[in-house]
């Protein structure tokens, strides 16, 4: 590996990854009130810590992150320290990611926590590939963001939105307040969107396990391995040109 590649790797592990993880951890607990616009910060709850730990386990099992590339006897003391910082900040960012996407109280918080718990356990059991795990996780996180900050915030808006009137008319006799959801200020939704995108970018930067041979060769900057010849190609290769060779006039 060239010195420039080493410097890029060190900068990513020491600066970029911890900074992004801390950004996700801080933004995941950011809230603004609808009425007065006051800011407040929510720390991770025991349930979000459990979900964050399970998410890190899913990332390790599916090869999104390889912990042995961050911590191990093959690394020096300072290198192991920086790797441990990445792991700890990743765990904190994973917990606060669920804080950002889960309602704060009520029945909806219980339902959302159970959904995330079952989804993570199912992913641990299925053990998809690295690419499929990142795709499914991105779809789930963006869907949870839309459900909380677009649908639920519109339903529980204090001024009474069109969506609230439509749902109330469809569910006549059912009180939405029984679910115990509190809408947020506009700044909360923007910060949560940045949190989700930043976490997905962290997953791209994490040193993971590479299973595809062509991916390994491509990262090394070499061409892909040649594909095996088919039967038709082999027959064409073994075909002999039976045309007579031109005779030299001097041989007569």
Specify the DSSP element, H or E, that contains 32: strand 30-32
pTM over 0.75: no
> What is residue 153's predicted lDDT score, i.e. its pLDDT?
78
| Residue for token pair 């991916």 | 215
Q: What is the pLDDT of residues 64-88, one digit of tens each?
A: 998 888 888 888 888 889 889 999 9
**Residue 208 contacts residue 64 (beta carbons within 8 Å):** yes
CA-wise closest residue to 180 among 162, 163, 155: 155
pLDDT tens, position by position, 167-215: 444 444 444 445 556 777 788 999 999 999 999 999 999 987 654 333 4
């Amino acid at each position: 590996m060239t010195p420039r590649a080493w410097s890029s790797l060190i900068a990513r592990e020491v600066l970029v990854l911890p900074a992004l993880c801390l950004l996700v951890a801080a933004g995941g607990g950011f809230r603004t009130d609808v009425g007065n616009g006051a800011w407040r910060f929510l720390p991770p709850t025991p349930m979000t810590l459990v979900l964050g730990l399970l998410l890190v386990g899913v990332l390790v099992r599916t090869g999104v992150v390889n912990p042995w590339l961050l911590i191990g006897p093959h690394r020096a003391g300072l290198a192991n320290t920086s790797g441990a910082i990445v792991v700890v900040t990743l765990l904190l960012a994973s917990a606060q990611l669920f804080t950002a996407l889960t309602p704060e109280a009520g029945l909806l918080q219980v339902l959302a926590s159970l959904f995330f718990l079952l989804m993570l356990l199912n992913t641990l059991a299925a053990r998809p590939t690295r690419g499929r795990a990142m795709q499914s996780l991105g779809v789930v996180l963006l869907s949870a963001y839309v459900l909380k900050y677009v649908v639920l915030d519109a339903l529980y808006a204090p001024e009474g939105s069109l969506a609230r009137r439509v749902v109330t008319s469809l569910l006549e006799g059912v009180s939405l307040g029984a679910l115990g959801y509190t809408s947020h200020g506009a700044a909360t939704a923007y910060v949560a969107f940045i949190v989700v995108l930043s976490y997905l970018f962290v997953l791209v930067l994490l040193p993971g396990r590479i299973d595809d041979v062509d991916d390994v060769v491509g990262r090394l900057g070499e061409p892909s391995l040649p594909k095996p010849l088919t039967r038709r190609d082999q027959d064409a290769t073994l075909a002999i040109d039976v045309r007579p060779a031109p005779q030299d006039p001097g041989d007569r």
